[in-house]
Amino acid sequence: MTSSGRTVLITGASSGIGLASAHRLLDRGWRVFAAARRLENMESLRQRGAEVLPLDVASEASRRQLADAISTRVGVLDALVNNAGFGEVGPVETMALDQARQMFEVNLFGLIGLTQLLLPQMREQRSGRIVNVSSIAGRFVTPGAGWYGASKHALEGISDALRLEMHRFGVQVVLVEPGLIRTGFEAVADDSMQKHCADPIWGSMMRNVSAGWSEGFLKGSSPDVVANTIVTALEADRPKARYRCGRESESVLVQRFMPTAVWDALVRKRMIG
């Protein structure tokens, strides 16, 4: 897929991976539609020529409003980058189901809901590319992040199904699986982290998890690493089904070939103590 004149919608474009990806695609001549809740944080994109639009991905009305705006302005997109998402942390036993549902609402249902609105035009045009930003947490889960990992596992599964279903229509579906990236994810999850760190049963584990995250994200990769991978996923003539990128993303390969009991022992030693 060549970049000149191509159109792309990027969700979650107000910070981190989405913001970096939007700038990178503008550099390469794409017509960029940037969507997020915080319009003021996308002013740098607007100044460079991106078309900035509001989106609360968990809201059906907001998704439809965005899809209608895209249809009016451009008709059919060449590409969609589903990047919007968030995470909270806590033990499976104690995390409120409402919190878990909200993660699924954003990371899975809202993402797919927007895709469903934009996909028919791509299918009818028999071309297009969808990049879903997942995580290495979509391939394996660590203590304290079970519900977040479950939402990303679900995204991996639905993306596999969509890739198979859309193949005969010429629409390609790609997963990008970042490792530890300096996006401020740990700051967003800090309230839930601190709450569970004070738990009389789970506090010790969550304090170990918190310390591990602080160290890991401090050494994490730049969002630009993911942005460059997204560009590759969009512009490759024959994209791979999955692209791993960033610090510790190679852990996916290690985990795949390691006996579960050995992997579990290593994770427990590192994160539970």
Please say if 243 is a catalytic residue: no
Return the residue matching tokens 């944080």.
41
Which residue in 103, 121, 256, 233 sits closest to 177, CA to CA? Answer: 233
Q: How crowded is the C-beta side of 240, counted as CA atoms within 13 Å?
A: 9
Find the catalytic residue in 33, 147, 148, 185: 148
In eight-state DSSP terms, residue 109 is I
Residues 6+ apart with CB under 8 A from 211: none
CB 33 within 8 A of CB 104: no
Of 188, 82, 184, whose CA–CA distance to 133 is shortest?
82
Q: How far apart are the C-alpha atoms of 161 and 240, rounded to whole Å?
A: 15
Catalytic residue positions? 148
